[in-house]
Amino acid sequence: MARVGYVYDPLYLEHGVSGHPESPARLQAIISHLQESGLLDKLVEVPARDASSADLELVHSWELVAHVRAKAEEDGGWLDADTYVGPNSYAVALRAVGGCLAASEAVLNGEIDCAFCLVRPPGHHATPTKAMGFCLFNNVAIVAKDALERRGVERIAVVDFDVHHGNGTQDAFYADPRVLYFSTHQYPFYPGSGYWAETGEGDARGTTVNVPLPRGSGDEEYIRAYREVCAPVVRRFRPRLLLVSAGFDAHFADPLAQMLLSVRGYYEIASLLRSLAEELCEGRVLFALEGGYDHTALPWGVHACLDALLGNEFTPEPLGPAPSVPGPSIDVVLTAVKRANGLDEA
């Protein structure tokens, strides 16, 4: 059985504002479920630490870091219509980034095989210069930059299955050929980016791969995207570390989107990613929590991914299969994506 690590810290519950969907209750639901199911006992705890300003500035401008810190010191406020800062939010965000860095270090040092970082606030919308979309700092992007600049990892693949496009992660590496960014997401949808023609620039052209899926896409459409596009582009890139922005808001029960992915669908995606990591980078894969706002679908989605990492069979869950409705055709989208990324030449 793989040595699967996890990161969690009670401090992550101290970032919140009344009525916001990105609430402490999300993480409480996950931890309670993992404890009650006994799955948490099968994982290796990786203690979180605080990130430093230097860690944050691997990706973000010092002006953004200072702005978020100052807003917290002023007892908080709103950075935009969706994104808030509370009095403890800067400290929480430092611990979230630091927890992901600690997990990455443990994986790269061989202390564990892979990990799931149960952190908040999420990160993939945070650009180098702007906090947005519930995100303050980009946890996964900072881990990637740390591994590249400080730990000698030559190539990293970031796979993002959150229902929203990770514009911040794309922006951070759009011109960096050392990072492959692959995303499936509902399109058109917030934040408006992630069209198939966005493929990188300069020497990094071809290292951004977007699969913009229509609303109503479910297990069949997602699995096709991962088998027909994700797997071949990751194999072609040959990363030495695989990072996953793990959002669970494409589930059919999620209140903020219109996709029809099931928990079993998440299990299948995570199993494919685990297999790719074993094939290409000695099993080194790190999942970091992004979105997911239904408090039943979210913990069961995490459970499914952990089962996949542990090598367990799928655990049936109470929500069951997605509604039985015909899915949209994604043939045109997949054809465009394959052509844009040189996958139609075989």
Q: Which residues are catalytic?
A: 125
Instruction: Scan for tokens 């059919």, then name that residue.
Output: 252
Tokens of 28: 């409480």
DSSP assigned state of 14: G
Residue 209, both tokens? 């791969």
Q: Give me 152's structure tokens.
A: 């000698």
**DSSP type of residue 202:** G
- Take residue 283 and report the two structure tokens written for it: 């099993």
CA distance 132 to 81: 9
Report phi then psi at 34, rounded to 5: -65, -35
Residue 18 in tokens: 């009344």
47, 61, 44, 219: which is closest to 126 by C-alpha? 61
Q: What backbone torsions phi and psi does residue 252 show, to the nearest 5 degrees?
A: -65, -20
Find all residues with CB under 8 Å of 289, minimum gap 6, and list them: 27, 30, 116, 117, 118, 119, 120, 122, 246, 247, 302
State the Cα–Cα distance between residues 294 and 292, nearest whole angstrom: 6
Query: Which has the closest alpha carbon to 270: 145, 142, 115, 166?
Result: 115
* Residue of 340, 47, 337, 32 lying closest to 185 (CA atoms): 337
Per-residue DSSP letter, 198:
-
CB 170 within 8 A of CB 183: yes
Distances (CA, A) of 177 to 54, 74, 202, 208, 243: 23, 40, 9, 9, 16
CA distance 110 to 107: 5
